[in-house]
Amino acid sequence: MNKQKFVVSLPNENSYQLEQARAARETAVELAAEVQVRFADNDSVTQSQQLLEVIQSSNQRPHAILFEPLTATALARVGEAAVAAGIGWVILNCDVEYLSGLRGRANHVPVFCVTRDHAEIGRIQGKQFAALLPSGGTILYLQGPATSSAAVQRTAGMESAKPANIKLKPLRSPWTEQGAYESVSAWLRLSTSRAASIDLIGCQYDGIAMGARKAFQELADPVERNQWLQLPFTGIDGLPQEGQAWVDQASLTATVIAGTTTRLALQMAATALQTGTQPTDRTVIEATSYPSLEKLTIVGSRGGK
């Protein structure tokens, strides 16, 4: 086979996706392969158009496309077009209903997914909430977009693990720090948004947590500002230089380490193309609490400090 070529399509340029891109480029060097990374600017139409251009190109056609979808439908028709053109189709961070059918129509090209178990990630976060609020309380819960299957699954997992004495005030946010800052800033303008009614800020992404902190830091009332900033903040993703570092620096109380998927997905796609074999349909990256749930239980017994 000639030098393998891959296209990696990612939803946006938040810190997690930039780490996904970095891991993809690094892995391509290790594999002596070529990789193009494209970002969809949080727009599923843009993502669809970008990938259709790749599929329809006569001279730049890759051996496989790896992409993280922006919606639960996960560009099923685009996937069919890719496979029909002899291009592998690898789904990142999402479980899709059409996968088995598409695999059945794939001739000698890999079709599979590498994902994080978002329901399990949510369950871990729910257990973190229980450890940090042993007597119960109210959480300002910042979720990702309603159209995101990851956000939906994380919420379901969290709700299955949190105790009944913990209540939620849900708030939607884009998967970006700036988007979270804007969402929380708008919410704070409501007369009912007071720190005294909240015991913890729980976020579905570390960047959302940091955007929320920024919004609280800009409150004019010093008493209200300090009340918000003294609350526990939790997030998800746990990148070494971000989520884990922010926990170590006490900007976050906890995160869920849930690693990148592009490295393993590229390795699997390269092997499949070389050997002509179809990888297992679904591979899951494991997630863990940071700090451990045992340590968070100690923090909770001390009042979250």
Same domain for 135 and 196:
yes
3-state SS of the chain?
CCCCEEEEEECCCCHHHHHHHHHHHHHHHHCCCEEEEEECCCCHHHHHHHHHHHHHCCCCCCCEEEECCCCCCCCHHHHHHHHHCCCEEEEECCCCCCHHHHHHHCCCCCEEEEEECHHHHHHHHHHHHHHHCCCCEEEEEEECCCCCHHHHHHHHHHHHHCCCCEEEEEEECCCCHHHHHHHHHHHHCCCCCCHHHCCEEEECCHHHHHHHHHHHHCCCCHHHHHHHHCCCEECCECCCCCHHHHHHCCCCCEEEEECCCHHHHHHHHHHHHHHCCCCCCEEEECEEEECCHHHHHHHHHCCCC
List the domain range (segments joined by +) for residue 278: 5-117+259-286
Same domain for 190 and 106:
no
Domain total of the chain: 2
Same domain for 110 and 147:
no
Same domain for 240 and 152:
yes
Average pLDDT, rounded, for the chain:
94
pLDDT of 305 > 60? The answer is no
Same domain for 149 and 62:
no
The one-letter amino acid at 103: R
Same domain for 269 and 234:
no
Distance from the Cα of residue 139 to its chain's centroid: 20
Averaged pLDDT for residues 40-48? 94
Same domain for 142 and 238:
yes
pLDDT of 303 > 90? The answer is no
Averaged pLDDT for residues 126-147? 96
Averaged pLDDT for residues 256-275? 95
Q: What is the CATH number of the domain that holds 131?
A: 3.40.50.2300
pLDDT of 4 > 80? The answer is yes
Residues 71-99 have pLDDT tens digits of 878 999 999 999 999 999 999 998 899 99
Q: Which two tokens stand for residue 37?
A: 């990374």
Q: Which two tokens stand for residue 229?
A: 């900033």
Q: Which two tokens stand for residue 160?
A: 């299955």
Q: In 3D, which of 199, 201, 208, 121 has the Cα closest to residue 161?
A: 121
Same domain for 272 and 223:
no
Averaged pLDDT for residues 93-113? 92
Which of 194 and 291 is assigned the larger pLDDT?
291
pLDDT of res. 149: 86
| Residue corresponding to tokens 């948004």 | 193
Yes or no: say if 41 and 17 are a contact pair by the CB < 8 Å rule: no
pTM for the structure as a whole = 0.84
**CB within 8 Å of 97: residues ≥ 6 apart:** none
Same domain for 215 and 248:
yes
Q: Which two tokens stand for residue 8?
A: 């990696």
Same domain for 126 and 33:
no
Same domain for 230 and 264:
no
Same domain for 194 and 103:
no
163: preceding bond cis by omega (within 30 degrees): no
pLDDT of 270 > 60? The answer is yes
